[in-house]
Amino acid sequence: MTTSEFHLTGAYAPVHDELTAFDLPVTGALPPELTGWYLRNGPNPREDSKHWFTGDGMVHGVRLERGRAAWYRNRWVRTESFADPDLKLYNEDGTRNLRSSVANTHVVNHAGRTLALVESSLPYEITTDLETVGVYDFGGELADAMTAHPKICPVTGELHFFGYGSITAPHVGYYRADAAGKLVVKQPIDVPGLTMMHDFALTGTHVVFYDLPVVFDRASVGRGMPYRWDTGYGARLGVLRRDRPEAGVRRLEIEPCYVFHTLNAFDTPDGRIVVHVMRYDHQWWAGHEDPPASLWRWTIDLAAGTVTEDRLDDRPGEFPRIDDRLTGADARFGHVTGHDVLRRYDLHTSTATEHVFAPGRVPGEAVFVPAEQGEGRLLGYVHEAAEDRSDLVVLDAGDLAAPPVATVHLPQRVPAGFHGNWLPDA
Protein backbone atom coordinates (compact mmCIF):
# COMPACT_ATOMS: atom_id res chain seq x y z
CA MET A 1 0.00 0.00 0.00
CA THR A 2 1.38 3.43 -0.93
CA THR A 3 1.10 6.43 1.38
CA SER A 4 -1.50 7.90 -0.98
CA GLU A 5 -3.84 4.95 -0.31
CA PHE A 6 -4.22 5.43 3.46
CA HIS A 7 -7.66 6.93 2.86
CA LEU A 8 -9.02 3.55 1.76
CA THR A 9 -8.25 1.68 4.98
CA GLY A 10 -8.93 1.78 8.72
CA ALA A 11 -10.77 4.81 10.06
CA TYR A 12 -10.64 6.44 6.62
CA ALA A 13 -12.22 3.58 4.69
CA PRO A 14 -15.63 4.36 3.16
CA VAL A 15 -18.86 2.89 4.47
CA HIS A 16 -21.20 1.28 1.98
CA ASP A 17 -24.68 1.71 3.43
CA GLU A 18 -26.84 4.79 3.78
CA LEU A 19 -28.56 4.32 7.13
CA THR A 20 -31.32 5.93 9.13
CA ALA A 21 -31.50 5.10 12.83
CA PHE A 22 -33.84 6.60 15.44
CA ASP A 23 -33.64 7.15 19.22
CA LEU A 24 -29.90 6.68 19.54
CA PRO A 25 -28.46 5.51 22.87
CA VAL A 26 -26.76 8.22 24.93
CA THR A 27 -24.25 8.05 27.76
CA GLY A 28 -24.48 11.10 30.00
CA ALA A 29 -27.11 13.81 29.53
CA LEU A 30 -27.65 15.91 26.42
CA PRO A 31 -28.37 19.56 27.34
CA PRO A 32 -32.03 20.17 26.38
CA GLU A 33 -31.19 23.49 24.70
CA LEU A 34 -28.96 21.56 22.27
CA THR A 35 -31.71 21.21 19.70
CA GLY A 36 -30.76 21.13 16.02
CA TRP A 37 -28.65 19.22 13.53
CA TYR A 38 -24.97 18.37 13.59
CA LEU A 39 -23.87 17.78 10.00
CA ARG A 40 -20.36 16.86 8.87
CA ASN A 41 -19.08 16.24 5.35
CA GLY A 42 -16.24 14.06 4.11
CA PRO A 43 -15.01 11.76 1.34
CA ASN A 44 -16.72 8.39 0.96
CA PRO A 45 -15.69 7.03 -2.45
CA ARG A 46 -17.94 4.47 -4.13
CA GLU A 47 -14.86 3.21 -5.98
CA ASP A 48 -11.19 3.52 -5.06
CA SER A 49 -10.16 7.15 -5.39
CA LYS A 50 -6.65 8.37 -6.18
CA HIS A 51 -6.47 10.68 -3.16
CA TRP A 52 -8.36 11.33 0.08
CA PHE A 53 -9.48 14.71 -1.26
CA THR A 54 -11.19 13.24 -4.33
CA GLY A 55 -13.70 10.73 -2.90
CA ASP A 56 -17.46 11.18 -3.31
CA GLY A 57 -18.94 13.41 -0.61
CA MET A 58 -21.09 11.94 2.14
CA VAL A 59 -22.77 13.93 4.91
CA HIS A 60 -23.27 12.28 8.32
CA GLY A 61 -25.91 13.94 10.48
CA VAL A 62 -27.34 13.65 13.99
CA ARG A 63 -30.57 15.31 15.03
CA LEU A 64 -30.74 16.36 18.71
CA GLU A 65 -34.06 17.35 20.28
CA ARG A 66 -34.52 18.61 23.85
CA GLY A 67 -32.27 16.07 25.53
CA ARG A 68 -32.63 13.13 23.13
CA ALA A 69 -30.71 11.95 20.08
CA ALA A 70 -33.61 11.69 17.64
CA TRP A 71 -31.81 10.21 14.63
CA TYR A 72 -28.64 9.51 12.68
CA ARG A 73 -28.48 9.61 8.88
CA ASN A 74 -25.71 9.37 6.29
CA ARG A 75 -26.23 10.21 2.62
CA TRP A 76 -24.02 10.74 -0.40
CA VAL A 77 -24.38 14.17 -1.98
CA ARG A 78 -25.95 13.26 -5.29
CA THR A 79 -24.30 15.70 -7.63
CA GLU A 80 -24.62 15.55 -11.40
CA SER A 81 -21.29 13.71 -11.68
CA PHE A 82 -22.39 11.27 -8.95
CA ALA A 83 -25.31 10.33 -11.19
CA ASP A 84 -23.14 10.42 -14.33
CA PRO A 85 -19.55 9.30 -13.60
CA ASP A 86 -18.56 10.19 -17.17
CA LEU A 87 -19.15 13.88 -16.41
CA LYS A 88 -15.56 15.13 -16.20
CA LEU A 89 -14.23 17.92 -13.98
CA TYR A 90 -12.31 19.49 -16.88
CA ASN A 91 -13.70 20.12 -20.33
CA GLU A 92 -11.62 19.45 -23.45
CA ASP A 93 -10.64 23.14 -23.68
CA GLY A 94 -9.22 23.06 -20.13
CA THR A 95 -12.13 24.88 -18.50
CA ARG A 96 -13.96 23.29 -15.61
CA ASN A 97 -17.41 21.78 -15.62
CA LEU A 98 -18.61 23.46 -12.43
CA ARG A 99 -21.49 21.00 -11.99
CA SER A 100 -19.09 18.05 -11.83
CA SER A 101 -18.50 17.82 -8.11
CA VAL A 102 -17.65 15.44 -5.29
CA ALA A 103 -19.10 18.00 -2.80
CA ASN A 104 -17.08 16.38 -0.01
CA THR A 105 -15.46 19.10 2.10
CA HIS A 106 -17.87 21.24 4.12
CA VAL A 107 -21.52 21.92 4.84
CA VAL A 108 -22.70 25.44 5.72
CA ASN A 109 -26.00 27.24 6.11
CA HIS A 110 -26.73 30.77 4.87
CA ALA A 111 -29.94 32.60 3.99
CA GLY A 112 -32.02 29.49 4.64
CA ARG A 113 -30.00 27.20 2.37
CA THR A 114 -27.74 24.36 3.45
CA LEU A 115 -24.85 23.91 1.02
CA ALA A 116 -22.42 21.02 0.55
CA LEU A 117 -19.13 22.40 -0.71
CA VAL A 118 -15.92 21.45 -2.46
CA GLU A 119 -13.61 24.15 -3.79
CA SER A 120 -13.44 22.87 -7.38
CA SER A 121 -17.12 23.29 -8.18
CA LEU A 122 -20.41 25.04 -7.56
CA PRO A 123 -22.23 24.37 -4.26
CA TYR A 124 -24.90 21.71 -3.99
CA GLU A 125 -27.95 22.43 -1.84
CA ILE A 126 -29.12 19.72 0.56
CA THR A 127 -31.88 19.50 3.13
CA THR A 128 -31.36 18.98 6.86
CA ASP A 129 -32.60 15.43 6.23
CA LEU A 130 -29.57 15.10 3.88
CA GLU A 131 -31.50 14.82 0.64
CA THR A 132 -29.85 16.54 -2.35
CA VAL A 133 -31.83 19.44 -3.84
CA GLY A 134 -29.40 20.25 -6.64
CA VAL A 135 -26.66 22.56 -7.83
CA TYR A 136 -26.86 26.13 -6.49
CA ASP A 137 -25.43 29.08 -8.45
CA PHE A 138 -27.04 32.06 -6.69
CA GLY A 139 -29.80 32.38 -9.27
CA GLY A 140 -27.41 32.13 -12.20
CA GLU A 141 -25.10 34.85 -10.86
CA LEU A 142 -22.14 32.61 -9.95
CA ALA A 143 -20.10 31.21 -12.84
CA ASP A 144 -17.14 30.12 -10.74
CA ALA A 145 -16.25 27.51 -8.16
CA MET A 146 -16.91 28.34 -4.51
CA THR A 147 -14.42 27.81 -1.74
CA ALA A 148 -15.25 25.17 0.85
CA HIS A 149 -14.46 27.77 3.55
CA PRO A 150 -16.81 30.75 3.13
CA LYS A 151 -17.08 33.21 6.02
CA ILE A 152 -20.32 34.64 7.39
CA CYS A 153 -19.91 38.10 8.89
CA PRO A 154 -21.84 38.05 12.20
CA VAL A 155 -22.40 41.83 12.01
CA THR A 156 -23.85 42.12 8.48
CA GLY A 157 -24.96 38.53 7.82
CA GLU A 158 -23.05 38.65 4.52
CA LEU A 159 -21.46 35.52 3.06
CA HIS A 160 -17.88 36.13 1.84
CA PHE A 161 -16.17 33.60 -0.39
CA PHE A 162 -13.82 33.16 -3.33
CA GLY A 163 -13.35 30.87 -6.28
CA TYR A 164 -10.06 29.79 -7.80
CA GLY A 165 -8.69 27.48 -10.45
CA SER A 166 -9.39 29.20 -13.75
CA ILE A 167 -6.68 28.19 -16.25
CA THR A 168 -6.70 31.73 -17.67
CA ALA A 169 -6.30 34.94 -15.67
CA PRO A 170 -7.80 36.10 -13.43
CA HIS A 171 -7.26 32.87 -11.51
CA VAL A 172 -9.20 34.01 -8.42
CA GLY A 173 -12.52 35.79 -7.89
CA TYR A 174 -13.85 37.32 -4.66
CA TYR A 175 -17.60 37.18 -4.06
CA ARG A 176 -20.05 38.47 -1.49
CA ALA A 177 -23.70 37.57 -0.93
CA ASP A 178 -25.92 39.72 1.25
CA ALA A 179 -27.84 38.41 4.26
CA ALA A 180 -30.74 37.39 1.99
CA GLY A 181 -28.42 35.34 -0.25
CA LYS A 182 -28.21 37.72 -3.22
CA LEU A 183 -24.78 37.89 -4.85
CA VAL A 184 -23.76 41.54 -4.65
CA VAL A 185 -19.97 41.59 -5.21
CA LYS A 186 -17.99 39.88 -7.97
CA GLN A 187 -14.37 41.04 -7.98
CA PRO A 188 -11.45 39.50 -9.92
CA ILE A 189 -8.29 39.03 -7.85
CA ASP A 190 -4.90 39.24 -9.53
CA VAL A 191 -2.42 36.49 -8.54
CA PRO A 192 0.73 35.60 -10.50
CA GLY A 193 -0.06 31.90 -10.89
CA LEU A 194 -2.60 29.12 -10.48
CA THR A 195 -2.16 28.19 -6.82
CA MET A 196 -4.23 25.97 -4.53
CA MET A 197 -6.07 28.52 -2.39
CA HIS A 198 -8.05 26.49 0.15
CA ASP A 199 -8.96 29.12 2.75
CA PHE A 200 -8.76 32.85 3.48
CA ALA A 201 -9.42 35.26 6.35
CA LEU A 202 -12.09 37.85 7.12
CA THR A 203 -11.96 40.79 9.53
CA GLY A 204 -14.41 43.60 10.16
CA THR A 205 -12.77 45.73 7.45
CA HIS A 206 -10.54 43.45 5.36
CA VAL A 207 -10.32 40.19 3.43
CA VAL A 208 -6.95 38.39 3.39
CA PHE A 209 -6.03 35.91 0.64
CA TYR A 210 -3.20 33.35 0.78
CA ASP A 211 -1.08 33.18 -2.41
CA LEU A 212 1.20 30.26 -1.50
CA PRO A 213 3.61 28.00 -3.43
CA VAL A 214 1.40 24.96 -4.04
CA VAL A 215 0.74 25.34 -7.77
CA PHE A 216 -1.32 23.59 -10.44
CA ASP A 217 0.43 20.67 -12.14
CA ARG A 218 -1.38 19.78 -15.36
CA ALA A 219 0.61 16.54 -15.74
CA SER A 220 -0.96 15.21 -12.53
CA VAL A 221 -4.58 15.69 -13.59
CA GLY A 222 -6.39 12.36 -13.17
CA ARG A 223 -3.58 10.87 -11.08
CA GLY A 224 -4.42 12.33 -7.68
CA MET A 225 -4.08 15.92 -6.53
CA PRO A 226 -2.98 18.05 -9.50
CA TYR A 227 -0.82 20.37 -7.36
CA ARG A 228 2.83 20.43 -6.29
CA TRP A 229 5.20 22.53 -4.22
CA ASP A 230 7.05 25.19 -6.30
CA THR A 231 10.24 26.42 -4.60
CA GLY A 232 10.44 29.43 -6.92
CA TYR A 233 6.90 30.75 -6.56
CA GLY A 234 7.29 32.62 -3.27
CA ALA A 235 4.49 33.39 -0.83
CA ARG A 236 2.29 36.43 -0.39
CA LEU A 237 -0.73 37.68 1.51
CA GLY A 238 -3.22 39.73 -0.48
CA VAL A 239 -5.17 42.28 1.58
CA LEU A 240 -8.47 43.62 0.23
CA ARG A 241 -10.62 46.35 1.79
CA ARG A 242 -14.21 45.24 2.31
CA ASP A 243 -15.51 48.76 1.61
CA ARG A 244 -13.51 49.07 -1.65
CA PRO A 245 -13.09 45.63 -3.22
CA GLU A 246 -12.73 47.21 -6.64
CA ALA A 247 -9.40 48.71 -5.52
CA GLY A 248 -7.85 45.23 -5.60
CA VAL A 249 -5.40 43.56 -3.25
CA ARG A 250 -2.24 44.84 -1.65
CA ARG A 251 0.44 42.13 -1.64
CA LEU A 252 2.82 41.52 1.25
CA GLU A 253 5.61 38.93 1.13
CA ILE A 254 5.86 36.16 3.74
CA GLU A 255 8.08 33.13 4.20
CA PRO A 256 7.13 30.21 1.93
CA CYS A 257 4.65 27.89 3.66
CA TYR A 258 1.22 26.39 3.19
CA VAL A 259 -2.06 26.93 5.03
CA PHE A 260 -5.16 24.80 4.65
CA HIS A 261 -7.14 26.41 7.48
CA THR A 262 -7.63 29.74 9.20
CA LEU A 263 -8.52 29.92 12.88
CA ASN A 264 -9.63 33.57 12.80
CA ALA A 265 -8.54 37.12 11.98
CA PHE A 266 -9.31 40.59 13.33
CA ASP A 267 -8.37 44.27 13.11
CA THR A 268 -6.45 45.84 16.00
CA PRO A 269 -7.25 49.34 17.33
CA ASP A 270 -3.96 50.66 15.93
CA GLY A 271 -4.79 49.56 12.38
CA ARG A 272 -2.96 46.23 12.12
CA ILE A 273 -4.49 42.89 11.05
CA VAL A 274 -3.92 39.73 13.10
CA VAL A 275 -4.44 36.34 11.42
CA HIS A 276 -4.21 33.00 13.25
CA VAL A 277 -3.60 29.99 10.99
CA MET A 278 -2.52 26.35 11.08
CA ARG A 279 0.73 26.64 9.11
CA TYR A 280 2.79 23.96 7.34
CA ASP A 281 6.43 24.59 6.48
CA HIS A 282 5.67 23.08 3.07
CA GLN A 283 3.22 20.73 1.40
CA TRP A 284 3.53 18.14 -1.42
CA TRP A 285 7.21 18.85 -2.01
CA ALA A 286 8.62 15.97 -4.02
CA GLY A 287 11.31 14.13 -2.09
CA HIS A 288 10.35 15.68 1.24
CA GLU A 289 8.16 14.36 4.01
CA ASP A 290 5.13 16.56 4.63
CA PRO A 291 5.41 18.18 8.09
CA PRO A 292 2.47 18.64 10.49
CA ALA A 293 0.71 21.96 10.92
CA SER A 294 1.01 24.10 14.05
CA LEU A 295 -0.54 27.35 15.28
CA TRP A 296 1.01 30.57 13.95
CA ARG A 297 0.13 34.25 14.09
CA TRP A 298 0.63 36.70 11.25
CA THR A 299 0.51 40.39 12.18
CA ILE A 300 0.04 42.60 9.13
CA ASP A 301 1.19 46.21 9.41
CA LEU A 302 -0.24 47.95 6.36
CA ALA A 303 1.43 51.27 7.22
CA ALA A 304 4.88 49.65 7.27
CA GLY A 305 4.10 47.12 4.55
CA THR A 306 5.33 44.22 6.69
CA VAL A 307 4.12 40.91 8.10
CA THR A 308 5.46 39.64 11.43
CA GLU A 309 5.32 35.83 11.66
CA ASP A 310 5.19 34.11 15.07
CA ARG A 311 4.88 30.43 15.89
CA LEU A 312 2.60 30.14 18.94
CA ASP A 313 2.85 26.40 19.60
CA ASP A 314 4.96 23.54 18.28
CA ARG A 315 2.35 20.87 18.98
CA PRO A 316 0.71 19.53 15.80
CA GLY A 317 -2.97 20.11 15.08
CA GLU A 318 -5.54 20.91 12.42
CA PHE A 319 -9.23 21.72 11.84
CA PRO A 320 -9.24 25.01 13.84
CA ARG A 321 -12.62 26.44 14.94
CA ILE A 322 -13.86 29.38 16.99
CA ASP A 323 -17.25 30.55 18.18
CA ASP A 324 -18.52 31.62 14.76
CA ARG A 325 -20.41 34.54 16.30
CA LEU A 326 -16.95 36.11 16.71
CA THR A 327 -15.73 35.67 13.14
CA GLY A 328 -13.64 38.71 12.24
CA ALA A 329 -13.43 39.90 15.86
CA ASP A 330 -10.78 39.40 18.57
CA ALA A 331 -11.99 35.96 19.66
CA ARG A 332 -10.22 34.87 22.81
CA PHE A 333 -10.54 31.11 22.37
CA GLY A 334 -9.74 28.79 19.49
CA HIS A 335 -10.11 25.01 19.24
CA VAL A 336 -7.78 22.66 17.37
CA THR A 337 -7.86 18.88 16.84
CA GLY A 338 -4.81 16.66 17.32
CA HIS A 339 -4.42 12.91 16.87
CA ASP A 340 -5.93 11.99 20.25
CA VAL A 341 -6.67 15.41 21.72
CA LEU A 342 -8.85 18.50 21.46
CA ARG A 343 -6.96 21.65 22.42
CA ARG A 344 -8.49 24.97 23.51
CA TYR A 345 -6.18 27.94 23.07
CA ASP A 346 -6.55 31.12 25.10
CA LEU A 347 -5.16 33.53 22.52
CA HIS A 348 -5.06 36.39 25.04
CA THR A 349 -2.88 34.60 27.60
CA SER A 350 -1.01 32.19 25.26
CA THR A 351 -2.12 29.16 27.28
CA ALA A 352 -4.01 26.01 26.34
CA THR A 353 -6.13 23.29 27.93
CA GLU A 354 -6.76 19.83 26.51
CA HIS A 355 -9.18 16.96 26.42
CA VAL A 356 -7.12 13.81 25.92
CA PHE A 357 -9.11 10.85 24.60
CA ALA A 358 -8.57 7.30 25.75
CA PRO A 359 -6.15 5.20 23.68
CA GLY A 360 -7.69 4.20 20.38
CA ARG A 361 -10.25 7.02 20.36
CA VAL A 362 -9.49 9.55 17.61
CA PRO A 363 -11.44 12.83 17.31
CA GLY A 364 -12.38 14.74 14.21
CA GLU A 365 -13.09 18.45 13.90
CA ALA A 366 -14.85 19.95 16.94
CA VAL A 367 -17.56 22.54 16.30
CA PHE A 368 -18.29 25.18 18.94
CA VAL A 369 -21.94 25.56 20.00
CA PRO A 370 -23.03 28.42 22.29
CA ALA A 371 -24.74 27.46 25.56
CA GLU A 372 -27.37 29.18 27.70
CA GLN A 373 -25.02 28.81 30.67
CA GLY A 374 -21.27 28.34 30.71
CA GLU A 375 -18.84 28.92 27.87
CA GLY A 376 -20.40 26.59 25.31
CA ARG A 377 -20.04 23.06 23.99
CA LEU A 378 -17.77 21.31 21.52
CA LEU A 379 -19.36 18.70 19.25
CA GLY A 380 -17.55 16.23 17.04
CA TYR A 381 -17.35 12.65 15.86
CA VAL A 382 -14.86 10.34 17.59
CA HIS A 383 -13.70 7.01 16.15
CA GLU A 384 -13.29 4.02 18.47
CA ALA A 385 -10.61 1.90 16.80
CA ALA A 386 -10.98 -1.25 18.92
CA GLU A 387 -14.65 -1.67 17.99
CA ASP A 388 -14.47 0.19 14.66
CA ARG A 389 -17.42 2.42 15.51
CA SER A 390 -18.06 6.12 16.10
CA ASP A 391 -19.73 8.40 18.63
CA LEU A 392 -20.89 11.99 18.63
CA VAL A 393 -19.19 13.47 21.69
CA VAL A 394 -20.32 16.63 23.52
CA LEU A 395 -17.67 18.38 25.64
CA ASP A 396 -17.87 21.39 27.96
CA ALA A 397 -15.64 24.00 26.29
CA GLY A 398 -15.09 25.77 29.60
CA ASP A 399 -13.96 22.57 31.36
CA LEU A 400 -12.33 20.71 28.54
CA ALA A 401 -10.42 18.22 30.67
CA ALA A 402 -13.66 16.93 32.25
CA PRO A 403 -15.40 13.77 30.99
CA PRO A 404 -17.82 14.31 28.10
CA VAL A 405 -21.15 15.93 28.91
CA ALA A 406 -22.77 13.34 26.64
CA THR A 407 -21.79 10.65 24.16
CA VAL A 408 -24.23 9.65 21.41
CA HIS A 409 -23.53 6.13 20.17
CA LEU A 410 -23.91 5.82 16.39
CA PRO A 411 -25.02 2.71 14.47
CA GLN A 412 -21.90 2.65 12.26
CA ARG A 413 -18.44 4.10 11.84
CA VAL A 414 -18.18 7.64 10.50
CA PRO A 415 -15.11 7.69 8.24
CA ALA A 416 -12.47 10.29 9.03
CA GLY A 417 -13.57 13.38 7.16
CA PHE A 418 -13.39 17.12 6.94
CA HIS A 419 -15.75 19.84 8.15
CA GLY A 420 -19.25 20.42 9.43
CA ASN A 421 -21.52 22.71 11.38
CA TRP A 422 -24.17 22.85 14.04
CA LEU A 423 -27.49 24.08 12.64
CA PRO A 424 -29.75 25.11 15.52
CA ASP A 425 -33.51 25.18 15.21
CA ALA A 426 -34.67 28.59 14.07
* 261 marked ligand binding residue: yes
Q: Residue 198 annotated as binding? A: yes
Type of residue numbered 188:
P
Question: Beta strand pairing status for 36-43 and 57-65?
Answer: antiparallel
Q: What is the 3-state secondary structure (H, E, C) of the chain?
A: CCHHHHHHCHHHCCCCCCCEEECCCEEECCCCCCCEEEEEEEECCCCCCCCHHHCCEEEEEEEEECCEEEEEEEEECCCHHHHCCCCCCECCCCCECCCCCCCCCEEEEECCEEEEECCCCCCEEECCCCCEEEECCCCCCCCCCCCCCCEECCCCCCEEEEEECCCCCCCEEEEEECCCCCEEEEEEECCCCCECCCCEEECCCEEEEEECCEEECHHHCCCCCCEEECCCCCCEEEEEECCCHHHCCEEEECCCCEEEEEEEEEECCCCCEEEEEEEECCCCCCCCCCCCCEEEEEEEECCCCEEEEEECCCCCCEEEECCHHHCCCCCCEEEEECCCEEEEEECCCCEEEEEECCCCEEECCCEEECCCCCCCEEEEEEEECCCCEEEEEEEEHHHCCCCCCEEEECCCCCCCCCCEEEEECC
Q: Is 419 annotated as a binding residue?
A: yes
Binding residues: 149, 198, 261, 419
Binding residues for Fe cation: 149, 198, 261, 419
